[in-house]
Structure 1
């Protein structure tokens, strides 16, 4: 899907075809659409193909007058995905009279900014740095969700004897690895933009980029903290789950022994031999009291040995 936008009366409006100084949004394009854009705007089609590859690291690439910026953005997965959060690639292609946002899936905060006229298409550097800043804030918001999920799982782990909670923590830890790796590559890319003369940076736009770098560093620190917490919790609660299981097994073993003792007594009266009180009409009452007595004695002995 390819959409063209331009500025009219300080508002972003969608147009049917390319006009100079356009913003072009490309979502999961077909080969024909990629060929059409690369031929029309005279840039390397691999720029778009690279931006659709989720394994690409954040980086900057130059080709004559065209600049490609690969940005790693967070993505929340619902439904059947075991890993709740991952990162995907988004490409920003900057030419003389156009800017292209290219990604495999729609980017919510980009759509929001366009729909609410938060961008000035004519100010390319400011628009791109706003995206960097928003992206870092989205990372931080998802990290807050991860922290809430960790707290919920922590409560469940106190009474758990299954591996479900540990598996959830393992997948969260994997999400944090994706976040940390992507945030670090984003930081390197942004610092390279700040130091170099890759794109023209105005003084007022430089502050936006510096804010984005600060937010990105904060997200890295938070991600590292949560990764350390998760690693420690997984080690601790693996022992807790094992201990809970041991307690259950101990209780079941004690119950089995308590039942076994009276079973031995009653089994004697199932044999075809002469036994004491066998002709007594209330012999079963004696057997019941003996059984209860042996259970209580055995229980008292367990208590004395501190096995219960």
Structure 2
């Protein structure tokens, strides 16, 4: 079901549509003459962030990445949300994951009902870019808590949680980068010179916010990557130490086998007829084993 609201002294109208409501979307297409190409971008849930301006129809299309508020598979993701400006109409197409933007847009019009269409759009993009920050702060908080648990005990469960954080940041870094590039591309479009000073200033504010989101997500990703690398190295070192210990232990156990093997031969050998022969063989074995252990230990250190 579409939601409509007038603004800019009743000269403009905002229409919010659910992407899954195909019947309503087809109705809007027929009523407002939205092209099939733009409509296809609006309905594609896997569409990348993009911006286009059709000078012949005076239609502006923008696909912006919106972060999810709920986790999926133990990490946050982002989905595209489409905005179309044509004539005096602003269309927003949201999915189930991005529909929380609708009340934010409504609050913008409630506070500033006299703003223009592009000012309304750029203000919305500013709030979407700002929505990434709480997620990044939550990821950083989880990283700190997880790091404390890993310092106490490096378990598979904790390492899997660390991997989930890394996967989630990959989605957030990619989404914020695409958003920042998209806002920068708007300035290269021909219609940018048609924007007034207020609209250009609001676009610059949205671009600055998007670039800050990129920097924060990249920083969080780099810190998490360093942390993951450190624990991987720690696990490798622990494995190496374990293998060294097992190698030394196996070498020590071969010495008594070799020594007792000689004395088990059916031929004359020293101490073979002595009453203390068994004890002497044990002492020889211990001496050689300890000597070998000390020699190899000094070498591997």
When the two structures are superposed, what TM-score results if normalisation uses the length of structure 2? 0.69
| Mapped pair 1:38 → 2:29 | yes
**Matches of 1:289 and 1:193 in 2, distance apart?**
89
**More helix by percentage:** 2
SS at match of 2:174: helix
Aligned to 2:246, the other structure's residue is in SS state helix
Matches within 5 A, 1:88-167: 88-107=79-98, 109-113=100-104, 117-120=107-110, 123=115, 124-147=117-140, 156=150
Q: In the aligned structure 2, how far is the partner of 1:249 from the partner of 1:165?
A: 27
Query: In structure 1, what is the equivalent of residue 17 of structure 2?
Result: 26
In the alignment, what sits opposite 2:187? 191
Separation (CA, whole Å) in 2 of partners of 1:238 and 1:193:
47
Q: Is the 8 A contact 2:6 2:14 kept in 1?
A: no
**Pairs within 5 Å for 1:268-307:** 291-303=285-297, 305-307=298-300
In 1, Cα distance between the equivalents of 2:5 and 2:183? 30
Aligned 8 A contact 1:258 1:295 in 2:
yes
Aligned to 1:257: 251
User: Where does residue 57 of structure 1 map in the other structure?
Assistant: 49
1:171: how far off? 3.8
* Cα deviations by residue, 1:74-133 (Å, 9 ceiling, x for unpaired): 34774448xx45443211122445422113443154144257x34336633343222111
Structure 1 residues 181 and 79 mapped into 2: Cα distance closer, same or farther (>3 Å)? closer
Give the gaps of 5 or more residues in structure 1.
9-18
State the Cα RMSD in Å.
Answer: 4.6
Partner SS for 1:183: helix
If the length of structure 1 is used for normalisation, what is the TM-score?
A: 0.68
Q: CA deviation at 1:39?
A: 1.2
- Provide the secondary structure at the position in 2 that maps to 1:221: helix
2:59 counterpart of 1:69: no
Distance 1:64 1:226 in 2: 42
Please give the alpha-carbon distance, in whole angstroms, between the structure 2 residues aligned to 1:86 and 1:253. Answer: 46
Q: In 2 relative to 1, CA 79–31 (structure 1 residues): closer, same or farther, beyond 3 Å?
A: closer
SS in 2 for 1:119: helix
Task: Rate the CA distance shift 1:295–1:161 in 2: closer, same or farther, 3 A.
Answer: farther
Say if 1:59 and 1:185, in contact at 8 Å, map to a contact too: no
CA shift for structure 1 position 59: 0.6
Per the TM alignment, residue 253 of structure 1 is displaced from its structure 2 partner at its CA by 0.7
Change (3 A) 1:3 1:277: farther
Please say if 1:213 is aligned against 2:216.
Answer: no
> Matched residues in 2 for 1:24 and 1:224: separation?
35
